[in-house]
Structure 1
């Protein structure tokens, strides 16, 4: 079964998504980029409130979009986000120069970092293998550009399947994201990642990913991913 990760931007959306059946709650600000960060003060209020009502529901949060070489800023943001009590801290990594060094640096931090491999130009299998070898609890495959192209428009499915298999062989959770929609459900089921991360597909289609999350869409996706 693939679990639904719902990306939310506020306490109201977080509670709506949890009540509607999202197995994981992901806090990020879609208006600030692919991995836009929610303000630390807001995280510090939302996380304990959500924990009080849903004590075992995993919570993740993004740190904001940064280049691979902004290591000091990454560390500061990772530790600040981790201090709010989230289970996982999501950090984007772009394939290319500095990516491997960035992954090694993130693996050294005293926080449960989940690297988000931004795959707009395909998946780097060597980078995926390194991420799995470094012992991260999970790896996310996503896209940086939210321009209507989905992860499956950018990535060769066979390569993606091989990366998922490599991660699974090391006990690493896998997640697919990147503007996924109903047309992608068959491929999601075939690849069977542990998690499917959604934002735009859970919002009113007139407004897209920056619109208001719709609990009815959350419920439909959670049911569909469970295979019902």
Structure 2
């Protein structure tokens, strides 16, 4: 596209849930090589978005309507790192979010073995129960190709139901403690090739060790830069604590996911507390 050419994209009638939707809308009318420029322009002044994971409706009530919490993430810690909750809990959390709210409901469907059919069906269950975003943990796929195969089917199941729904591909920083799962730098490629919007890193084993016990700042910046080159958003999670927030500010992911940090006694199996969420926001945004 010549610098003298002007392309007008009418967005006056559109409602965007997040900057990425605006990027996609504008980019669809331009050559792909301009997409990255648009994304940088839209996102450069954006805050790191917060994703908080309630396990039940009472915890979700604490988070709904709270400023600066973009994602309410329906999760069941008793069933694993990305343990799936029940359809009626997803539906109940969706009902708590007022119509027109900027808050989005995400739902995890589990730390999945390499079973594309089962994963697709679970993803459809989550999105049809009200999830705006479906998160999948790639526990079983042994490599990038298997990850892409599983996620392409998940994305198809989700997008056939709702084109606006988004998909998160989650890998594990502590892969060295697992028998399978793709490497952390394969996750952005899996997301991009499958049509998912977000590449995430979490920890699989919840034993007090966190993201930075397995990957350093330079490695996570490498992860972020690869995802950005592929036009995929980045989410980081895994026992993120107050001491980690300065490193997070250096990396500048699009999203961070927390539970332990905002739970009583910093224990993910305890209850989310509003005052700890406020403390997190003060520390992250100061």
Q: Does TM-score exceed 0.5, indicating one fold?
A: yes
Moved more, 21-30 or 193-202: 21-30
Q: For residues 157-172 of structure 1, what are the structure 2 equivalents within 5 Å?
A: 157-172=217-232
Structure 1 residue runs of 4+, over 4 Å off?
A: none
Q: 1:121 aligns with which of 163, 175, 178?
A: 175
Aligned twin of 1:209? 268
SS in 2 for 1:117: strand
Q: Tell me which of the two structures has the higher relative contact order, counting C-alpha pairs closer than 8 angstroms and 6 or more residues apart.
A: 1
Aligned twin of 2:255? 195
Aligned twin of 1:185? 245
Q: Which runs of 5+ in 1 are unaligned?
A: none
Aligned twin of 1:49? 96
Conserved 8 A contact 1:3-1:23? yes
SS in 1 for 2:207: coil
The 3 A distance-change label for structure 1 pair 202 and 141 is: same
SS in 2 for 1:63: strand
Aligned twin of 1:105? 150
Q: Distance in 2 between matches of 1:220 and 1:23?
A: 16
Question: TM-score, normalised on structure 2?
Answer: 0.72
Moved more, 138-147 or 14-23: 14-23
SS in 2 for 1:213: coil
Aligned twin of 1:70? 115
Give the drift of 1:10: 1.5
Conserved 8 A contact 1:71-1:102? no
Give the drift of 1:32: 1.8
SS in 1 for 2:106: strand
Aligned twin of 1:58? 104
Conserved 8 A contact 2:53-2:258? yes
Question: TM-score, normalised on structure 1?
Answer: 0.89
SS in 2 for 1:179: coil
Q: Does 1:32 align with 2:65?
A: no
- For these two proteins, the number of residue pairs brought into alignment is 224
Q: Which has the larger radius of gyration?
A: 2
Q: Which runs of 5+ in 2 are unaligned?
A: 1-46, 159-165, 177-182
Give the drift of 1:98: 4.7
